[in-house]
Amino acid sequence: MKKILKILGIGIAAILGLIAIFLLYIGLTDIPSYKVEQIDFHAKSTPQALERGKKLTMMLCANCHMNSETRKLTGKRMLDAPPEFGKIYSQNITQDKEYGIGNWTDGEIVYLLRTGIKKNGQYSPPYMAKLPKMADEDINAIIAFLRSDDPMVVSSAIPDTPTKPSFLTKLLCRVAFKPFSMPNKTIEMPDPNNDIELGKYLAHNLDCFSCHSADFKTNNYMDPSLSEGYFGGGNKPLNEEGRVMLTQNLTPDKETGIGTWTKEDFINTVKYGIKKGENAMRYPMAPYTQLTDKEAGAIFEYLQTIPAISNKVERSFYN
């Protein structure tokens, strides 16, 4: 009997020892790196691509990379990233060769945007956006814009502040967060004459679903409609003071969602932050002024077709 207990004791001690070594290892090493696939891609710059690219960059990248002092995409401290992820800084993505992405190839940028793997192979955790399902044409437009002579992206020699990921982030990057795989075929643009298809594309690729479903942790980025509580609201993004800003239910439920809204109400809220009889929308609900009425209206049309979820979410207010 004693012998068995002794063996058991040694076994438990060994397991605890292994766990301790594992935790120490995670703490001392960096976020994991992956092989960088060489992508043969050269952005095609046309006036249409530049215009579209600017619009997408304003809606999808500027909120995190725009520095209010330089008025360029030189990066900043991300005060709205959950503090348990560490001290997060977005990086300089102007064309500066030393601090920006002037020495990245177009292929390296595509690879990062699709998979989350940076030029140096390191995985970029979920505090950096990824675009695994965006149409090739739109990805081309964003990269063409990043290479353009727009004042937002011209070379600006502002040094990066490296992100200091927490232990939790490093651990999650070993066990939960994984890069997406590179699409193996062309992703086509939605049919612009089909409002529901266009609206679905925008609702997914402008990340509306990621904030407006139940929780970032249970979102499905490869097939957004499989996210838990898809568009039922209740997710908890943070504002710039690091406080929770609950997201609303955008399903067609008549009591708790937007089932009784008109298309016009919706366009006003999404594009200008105006809500009838209520206070204006606040950060992080960006006013999407770059969307055309047709695009914002198409999102509305699409949202009216998804399953209604009954989930009442109050707005968050702080004094």
- Report the 10 Å Cβ neighbour count for 46: 12
Nearer to ligand HEC, 10 or 305 (CB): 305
Rounded CA-CA distance 182/277 in Å is 45
| Helix, strand, or coil (residue 33) | strand
Rounded CA-CA distance 70/152 in Å is 9
Do 80 and 237 form a contact (C-beta atoms < 8 A)? yes
Residue 294 is given by DSSP the state H
| Helix, strand, or coil (residue 174) | helix
Q: Per-residue contact track with ligand HEC, 141 to 180, x per CB under 6 A?
A: -x--------------------x-----------------
Nearer to ligand HEC, 186 or 205 (CB): 205
**Strand partners of residue 86:** 165
Residue 251 is given by DSSP the state S
Minimum distance of ligand HEC from residue 134's CB (angstroms)? 8
Contacts with 223 (C-beta within 8 Å, 6 or more apart), sequence order: none
Residues 46-65 that bind ligand HEC (CB under 6 A): 60-61, 63-65
Minimum distance of ligand HEC from residue 11's CB (angstroms)? 39
Q: Per-residue contact track with ligand HEC, 278 to 307, x per CB under 6 A?
A: ---xx-xx--x----------x--------
Residue 233 is given by DSSP the state -
Rounded CA-CA distance 42/117 in Å is 18
Residues 198-227 that bind ligand HEC (CB under 6 A): 206-208, 211-212
Minimum distance of ligand HEC from residue 296's CB (angstroms)? 7
Minimum distance of ligand HEC from residue 249's CB (angstroms)? 7
Minimum distance of ligand HEC from residue 239's CB (angstroms)? 8
Cα–Cα distances in angstroms (integers) from residue 137 to residues 44, 49, 303, in the given order: 9, 8, 24
Nearer to ligand HEC, 2 or 270 (CB): 270
Do 219 and 234 form a contact (C-beta atoms < 8 A)? no
Task: Work out which of 247, 251, 304, 311 binds ligand HEC, going by CB under 6 A.
Answer: 247
Which residues are at the interface with ligand HEC (CB under 6 A)?
60-61, 63-65, 78, 88, 90-91, 93, 101, 109, 112, 118, 124, 127-129, 142, 163, 206-208, 211-212, 237, 245, 247-248, 250, 266, 269-270, 275, 281-282, 284-285, 288, 299, 315-316
